[in-house]
C-alpha cells in the first residue's frame, strides 16, 4: 500500500489518498462509506472486485485508491488495472479484416497494455465513485496524476477511463482538460420494468411482435428443451463445469467485440461471493446444458452479465432468444426498478422493447508517440457506434397494444 498526501491541494481542499496494491488491503469501512447506494455499488462491491482480481491476476495487475478530505473522511474511491487489449475492438469490419491479415504475419500487432480506470470485465460499468460532498474536479486531477505515474512505471502507452453514462460524464468532464478524448463504447440496453412477469409483457404486445416470440417458443419446444433456474451460489458453482464454460467461450469467440475471456474460476468465485444475489437461467437438452445466462441482482437492479450458447443448436431452437425471454421473466418477477439487458444484440433487444443508453470511454496516450498515434488513427480505432434505435429510446406504444 502507498499512502501519499496531496502536495498541491486544489482550492484549499487538502485531499490526500491511499493507493492499495490489492483489494484485500483496502479499508472496507472507508470504501463502503463512499459506495452506500445499493444500485450504484453492486459493481463497486468489494466482493465483486475480489472475484475479478483474484481470478484475473495472470493477465492483469490491479490497484485501488481511496481519497480523503482534510478531516480524513473518505470522499472517493476507484479501481484501476493494467490489461492487454486489442485496439481493433471497436474498429469497423474492414479494418478488423485488415488487422487479421497483418496478424497472420505479426501476431502481436495492435495489442497494447492499457491502464484502465476500471476493471478488465465487460459489464458496462465504471469503477469510480464520489461522495456527495467531494470536489470532483480536484479528485479527477489527482487521479489522473496517479494513473500517469503508474503508466510510466508500468511502461503503458495508453490510459482509458471506462465506461461512463451521460450523467457520469458530467462529473469527469475535466478529463478533457488533461488531454483525454471521449469516444463511444457499446451502449447499454435497458428494459422498463412495467410488467409483473414475461406473460404480462407478452399479452401487452402488438400482434406481430407476439407472433415473433411465439414462433421462437414453438421452435424451442419442438426440440424438447427445458428451462431451469438456479439462485443458489453453491449449486451454481457445481453446475458451471468446464463443459458449460465452453458455451461461454463460444459466445466470446463469436462476438464482434472481444475485450476479455474470463476464466472458469471467475464464475466460481462470483457464485461464492454472491450466493444469494446470483442467478443462472439454464437450458437443458436431456441432461446436458446447452445455454445459460448469468445475472447479478440487488434490491433495486437486475443485471444480465454473461451467457453461453451451443451454436449448432441455436438456429434450430432460437436458444438465445428463449434464454433472454426466460431470464427477463425472472428479472421482472424481482420487482426491481432497473433492468440492464447487456450491451450486444442491438436489433433483437430493440424488438424486445429495450431502450439504449450511450456509454463512453476517455482515452489518452502516454508520451509523444502515443499522442501522435491517437491523433492519426483515433477515428479508425474508435468509429461512431451504429445505433439501430431512433433517438436511442423506444416509445411504448410502438410495441404495446395499450
Considering the domain architecture, whether residues 168 and 294 belong to the same structural domain is answered as no
Considering the domain architecture, whether residues 63 and 117 belong to the same structural domain is answered as yes
Considering the domain architecture, whether residues 135 and 173 belong to the same structural domain is answered as yes
pLDDT at residue 113 in the model:
85
- C-alpha to C-alpha distance for 336 and 173, rounded to whole angstroms: 30
On whether residue 395 sits in a domain, the answer given is no
Considering the domain architecture, whether residues 110 and 156 belong to the same structural domain is answered as yes
Under 8 Å CB-to-CB from 97, ≥6 apart: which residues? none
Considering the domain architecture, whether residues 109 and 239 belong to the same structural domain is answered as no
On whether residue 394 sits in a domain, the answer given is no
Considering the domain architecture, whether residues 172 and 31 belong to the same structural domain is answered as yes
User: What phi and psi values does residue 326 have, to the nearest 5 degrees?
Assistant: -70, -35
Distances (CA, A) of 66 to 155, 235, 302: 24, 35, 27
- Going by C-alpha positions, the residue among 142, 139, 160 that lies closest to residue 151 is 160
Q: How far is CA 393 from the centre of its chain?
A: 20
Give the pLDDT of the chain (402 residues) as one tens digit per residue: 555 444 334 445 689 999 999 999 999 999 999 987 655 578 999 999 999 999 998 889 999 999 999 999 999 999 999 988 765 565 555 555 555 656 566 455 556 789 999 999 989 999 999 999 999 999 999 999 999 999 999 999 899 999 999 999 998 989 999 999 999 888 999 999 999 999 999 999 988 889 999 999 999 999 989 999 999 999 999 999 999 999 999 999 887 766 688 999 999 999 999 999 999 999 999 999 999 999 999 999 999 999 999 999 999 999 999 999 999 999 999 999 999 999 988 899 998 999 999 999 999 999 887 777 777 777 766 766 555 554 444 444 455 554
DSSP 3-state of 92: coil
On whether residue 397 sits in a domain, the answer given is no
Q: Which residues form the domain of 328?
A: 189-356
The tally of domains found in the chain comes to 2
Considering the domain architecture, whether residues 153 and 130 belong to the same structural domain is answered as yes
Considering the domain architecture, whether residues 198 and 317 belong to the same structural domain is answered as yes
Under 8 Å CB-to-CB from 297, ≥6 apart: which residues? 277, 279, 303, 331, 334, 336
| H or E element, residue 159 | strand 158-164
Considering the domain architecture, whether residues 195 and 325 belong to the same structural domain is answered as yes
| H or E element, residue 2 | strand 2-5
- Going by C-alpha positions, the residue among 154, 158, 153, 156 that lies closest to residue 89 is 158
Which strand ranges, in their side-by-side order, compose the sheet holding 226-230? Answer: 226-230, 278-285, 288-297, 301-309, 338-342, 188-190, 355-357
Considering the domain architecture, whether residues 224 and 164 belong to the same structural domain is answered as no
DSSP 3-state of 374: helix
Number of other residues whose CB lies within 10 A of the CB of residue 275: 15
pLDDT at residue 391 in the model:
41
Considering the domain architecture, whether residues 154 and 26 belong to the same structural domain is answered as yes
Q: Are strands 60-68 and 74-86 parallel, antiparallel or unpaired?
A: antiparallel
- Going by C-alpha positions, the residue among 240, 247, 253 that lies closest to residue 279 is 240
pLDDT at residue 217 in the model:
95
pLDDT at residue 58 in the model:
84
What's the angle, vertex CA 134, arms to CA 128 and CA 137, rounded to 5?
A: 75
DSSP 3-state of 198: helix
274: domain CATH number is: 3.40.630.30
On whether residue 391 sits in a domain, the answer given is no
Amino acid at each position: 500500500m502507498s499512502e501519499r498526501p496531496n502536495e498541491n491541494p486544489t482550492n484549499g481542499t487538502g485531499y490526500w489518498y491511499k493507493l492499495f496494491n490489492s483489494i484485500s488491503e483496502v479499508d472496507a469501512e472507508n470504501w463502503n462509506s463512499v459506495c452506500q447506494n445499493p444500485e450504484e455499488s453492486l459493481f463497486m462491491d468489494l466482493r465483486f472486485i475480489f472475484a475479478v482480481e483474484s481470478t484475473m491476476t495472470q493477465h492483469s495487475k490491479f490497484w485501488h485508491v481511496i481519497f480523503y478530505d482534510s478531516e480524513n473522511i473518505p470522499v472517493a474511491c476507484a479501481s484501476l488495472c493494467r490489461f492487454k487489449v486489442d485496439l481493433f475492438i471497436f474498429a469497423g469490419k474492414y479494418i478488423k479484416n485488415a488487422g487479421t491479415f497483418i496478424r497472420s504475419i505479426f501476431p502481436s500487432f495492435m495489442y497494447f497494455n492499457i491502464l484502465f480506470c476500471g476493471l478488465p470485465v465487460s459489464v458496462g460499468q465504471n469503477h469510480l465513485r464520489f461522495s456527495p460532498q467531494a470536489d470532483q474536479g480536484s479528485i479527477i486531477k489527482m487521479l489522473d496524476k496517479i494513473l500517469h505515474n503508474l503508466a510510466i512505471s508500468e511502461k503503458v502507452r495508453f490510459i482509458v477511463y471506462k465506461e461512463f453514462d451521460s450523467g457520469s460524464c458530467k462529473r469527469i468532464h475535466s478529463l478533457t482538460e488533461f488531454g483525454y478524448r471521449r469516444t463511444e463504447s457499446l451502449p447499454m440496453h435497458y428494459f422498463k420494468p412495467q410488467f409483473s412477469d414475461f406473460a404480462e409483457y407478452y399479452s401487452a404486445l402488438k400482434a406481430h411482435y407476439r407472433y415473433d416470440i411465439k414462433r421462437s417458443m414453438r421452435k424451442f419446444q419442438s426440440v424438447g428443451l427445458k428451462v431451469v433456474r438456479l439462485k443458489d451460489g453453491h449449486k451454481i458453482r457445481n453446475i458451471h463445469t468446464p463443459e458449460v464454460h465452453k458455451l461461454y467461450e463460444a459466445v466470446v469467440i463469436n462476438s464482434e467485440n472481444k475485450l476479455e475471456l474470463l476464466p472458469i474460476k471467475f464464475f466460481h468465485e462470483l457464485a461464492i461471493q454472491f450466493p444469494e444475489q446470483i442467478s443462472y437461467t439454464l437450458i437443458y437438452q436431456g441432461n446436458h446444458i446447452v445455454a445459460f445466462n448469468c445475472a447479478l441482482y440487488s434490491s433495486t437492479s437486475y443485471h444480465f452479465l454473461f451467457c453461453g450458447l451451443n451454436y449448432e443448436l441455436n438456429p434450430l431452437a432460437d436458444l438465445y432468444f428463449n434464454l433472454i425471454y426466460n431470464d427477463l421473466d425472472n428479472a421482472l418477477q424481482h420487482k426491481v426498478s432497473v433492468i440492464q439487458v447487456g450491451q450486444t444484440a442491438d436489433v433483437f433487444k430493440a424488438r424486445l422493447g429495450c431502450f439504449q443508453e450511450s456509454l463512453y470511454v476517455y482515452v489518452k496516450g502516454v508520451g509523444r508517440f502515443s499522442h501522435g498515434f491517437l491523433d492519426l488513427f483515433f477515428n479508425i480505432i474508435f468509429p461512431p457506434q451504429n445505433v439501430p434505435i431512433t433517438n436511442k429510446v423506444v416509445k411504448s406504444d410502438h410495441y404495446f397494444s395499450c
